């Protein structure tokens, strides 16, 4: 018998004999028996990854691990969207590139908001297990460095300074260093539109022309704004993060050996697209 309801009868794309829809096997409901919510999301494996190092177990260590694992999942999604946005720019699909960057913006706001959850942990509670983290450090987040490299802040020195990189992680970082960035793709967009980008003056003139004629260059302008928004939200996350670290550990050194909040403050002036910020002065 068909698993389709009577309301589906007579529709040209419903195959009442095989239970297929548009040529694809359809098995909604318990009779499908192929996947469950838990098996699709691999929940047994996922929920088994929060392994506490403290002994006796510190209550807030679960929160600390969960927050950072969630960060890494969002980083994975951000890289997925940014890579696709770059490729869309390179293929001339400006609407798609902008759409994917807007999704990145929403995720970046979520990343900043997650700090509120982490700050429900007091310095005393963090102190119960922080000593067990050394020499692990957020500095060692490979995906975060991939995001920076792909955005345009490439720095080969980071690869040399990483501790405990696996062969696969080193390959990923070296690939990000070698491949085009979002900014490289945007320059291709400008050149495709007939602008020069070889010199700083060429690029400045191109951006000013785009900004002055949004009727003709609206898609390029909106894409530039989407890149600037990404830059701004990344800067907002860095600023929020350093204040959180100061609230938690003051001026103590980081568990990975860095200067802690001091190092993070040294990164606050980082801008992925300084040319887009400088453009504001001439508008």
Residues annotated within the binding site for heme are: 241
**Which residues have C-beta within 8 Å of that of residue 90, sequence separation ≥ 6?**
180, 185, 188
Closest CA to 206 of 107, 278, 108, 100: 278
- Give whole-number Cα distances, 240 to 18, 235, 255, 265, in Å: 56, 9, 19, 11
Binding-site annotation, residues for substrate: 64-68, 130, 255
What's the maximum distance between 2 C-alpha atoms anywhere in the chain? 71
Annotated binding site: 64-68, 130, 241, 255
């Amino acid at each position: 018998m068909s698993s389709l309801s009577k309301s589906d009868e007579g529709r040209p794309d419903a195959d009442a004999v095989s239970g297929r829809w548009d040529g694809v096997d359809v098995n909604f409901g318990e009779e499908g028996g192929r996947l469950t919510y838990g098996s699709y999301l691999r929940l047994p494996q996922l929920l088994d990854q929060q392994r506490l190092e403290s002994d006796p177990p510190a209550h807030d260590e679960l929160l600390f691990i969960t927050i950072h694992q969630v960060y890494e999942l969002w980083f994975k999604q951000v890289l997925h969207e940014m890579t696709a946005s770059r490729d869309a720019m390179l293929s001339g699909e400006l609407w798609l590139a902008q759409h994917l960057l807007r999704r990145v913006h929403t995720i970046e706001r979520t990343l900043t908001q997650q700090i509120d959850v982490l700050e429900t942990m007091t310095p005393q509670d963090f102190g119960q297990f922080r000593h067990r983290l050394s020499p692990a450090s957020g500095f060692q987040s490979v995906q975060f460095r991939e995001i920076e490299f792909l955005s345009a802040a490439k720095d080969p020195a980071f690869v040399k300074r990483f501790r405990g990189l696996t062969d696969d992680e080193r390959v990923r970082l070296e690939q990000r260093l070698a491949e085009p960035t979002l900014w490289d793709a945007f320059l291709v967009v400008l050149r495709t539109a007939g602008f020069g980008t070889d010199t700083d003056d060429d690029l400045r003139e191109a951006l000013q022309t785009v900004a002055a004629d949004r009727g003709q260059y609206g898609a390029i302008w909106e894409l530039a704004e989407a890149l600037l928004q990404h830059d701004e939200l990344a800067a907002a996350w860095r600023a929020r993060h350093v204040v959180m670290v100061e609230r938690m550990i003051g001026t103590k050194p980081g568990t990975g050996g860095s200067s802690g909040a001091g190092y993070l403050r040294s990164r606050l002036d980082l801008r992925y697209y300084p040319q887009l910020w400088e453009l504001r002065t001439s508008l």
